[in-house]
Structure 1
């Protein structure tokens, strides 16, 4: 009888412990979860978002031009949780120019400000190549490596997973994948957006099972950070801008709800930042052209050494290397000019960003200027 009483007390203790954990969890972790889905074009980001929601809310694009694919945010209740998914275009593809993506980066930041509760990094079941590694590097550069502590690796194309193998076993076969998953706290899951839609005999190879496991991993991330979200300086700046815009709208609006004010504020901030980015781009483009022209003209008047250095950097080296050469040559020749240009270093630094994009276009201008130099300096 005493043993039965002890067993009942143990069960009551377990029940009470479970109830306390639930209360603690509900206090720490908000019901709303904001999640960014990241990965290169074609990895299955939009399909994953639809799989999580259990319906088609995100447009699936079969083309690879990421500029035609706009960021999208949708909210739905999934398994008792309010989930906001932010689907992104191929922001981190290795084939595109970063400047072409700026509006989408701005949109991503305005949608998730002040920060997401989790990141889903989407990879295909397949070989983990240098291209995938480059995508991870770009993600860390954009958000910082700290973001991996809030991340889950989600593999798509689960039908390619060998029969009877779990995704953790698959990850262990690759040192690169194993290292990445470790940085993400060991969190990885697998779905199949085509074949695992219906209930399978093997529970593991079921999207329903995998989605629930994925959401549990996100819950654990939030618990580990006391219900907080990832943020950084850029996201905090965007959030401050949104809040200022909210206050401005609130003072002038009529009967707009808080949700409507928030959406309008995000839209306004997005437009302002894209417009500012566009003006900065044009300023840098003009600045670079003027600086490069100054080097060529100065070289014509002084010596041909500068011409050779800039030409080698322009066609053989990276954009930062070209900017460095420009700075050195401009500084060297500036002392011979009257009046000398001011704030050379600051101006050249501002010009670094667009250098890579306009190198091919500038080659034509260079050839024209160099032909002029040859006719004047070495006829």
Structure 2
């Protein structure tokens, strides 16, 4: 990392929406995987710096985002290990996906699926299928599989017959890498660029993230109504009252 240059890492529960112009120079990468520590380890490898803490005990319940300039390339990386938490309903997964897509707006150019083959079960595959089906295009064309080894060796507790075969994992991706067998950083970045070139710079769009025209109209009407309500004298008086109370509390403290 360049001396004096600060890395940007965001941990919001409800992130603000960034404009397409602001993020347009960046290659947007989404990290998917059930092991948050391995996600962070791979994320640090891609960014070429220790942006994410890999020693945390409790898994995050939100998306994490960091941006870096790597080998002259602008990269925005979003880690979404919390999408594989159990138990989660489809509605809960959808809400977490919404958060991820806000951070990845307007959509990821590349998905890096971080998995431990011995610990990737049929349940995990169904969750991944649900996530992939929510995109407007075929995610396989945008996906790289990064195989890692679970540091806690939790895979020993998973019966072999419940694990997904390597063939099924291969069907999910365009390229595969083995993180523990000397994965080349330059080759990984080169393949990410190749995915972008083959897709002509396009990115995955989340169908539920794009509002239909009727929804846009409803949203605009609702916003106009709320704006009108905010301008009412009655509400202004209430605001002044609460502000005066807050000022008194500040003085006391």
Indicate the structure with greater strand content: 2
Q: For 2:145, what is the secondary structure of its paired residue? A: strand
Measured on the aligned residues, the alpha-carbon RMSD in Å equals: 3.4
After superposition, the Cα gap between the structure-2 partners of 1:139 and 1:147, relative to the gap in structure 1 and judged at 3 Å, is: same
* Match in the other structure for 2:165: 176
Q: Aligned partners of 2:137 and 2:37: how far apart in 1?
A: 21
Distance 1:140 1:103 in 2: 15
Alignment counterpart, residue 62 of structure 1, candidates 57, 72, 77: 57
Match of 1:107 in 2: 99
The TM-score with structure 2 as length reference comes to: 0.60
Q: Distance in 2 between matches of 1:40 and 1:128?
A: 8
Distance 2:186 2:141 in 1: 20
CA shift, 1:178, in A, is: 1.9
1:184-223 equivalent positions in 2, closer than 5 A: 184-185=173-174, 187-192=175-180, 205-207=181-183, 209=184, 211-223=185-197
When residues 56 and 103 of structure 1 are mapped into structure 2, their CA distance, relative to the original with a 3 A threshold, is farther
Alpha-carbon deviation of 1:90? Answer: 1.9
Pairing 1:76–2:50 present: no
Instruction: Tell which structure's C-alpha radius of gyration is larger.
Output: 1
What TM-score, normalized to structure 1?
0.42
Residue 294 of structure 1: aligned partner: none
* Contact 2:84–2:124 (Cα < 8 Å) also in 1: no
Q: Determine the structure 1 residue equivalent to 2:140.
A: 148
- Provide the rounded CA distance (Å) in 2 between the counterparts of 1:177 and 1:145: 23
Which of 1 and 2 has higher RCO (CA within 8 Å, sep 6+)?
A: 2
Closer/same/farther in 2, CA of residues 76 and 228 from structure 1, 3 Å limit = same
- For the residue of structure 2 that corresponds to 1:237, the secondary structure is coil
Unaligned runs of 5+ in 1: 1-29, 160-173, 193-204, 249-379
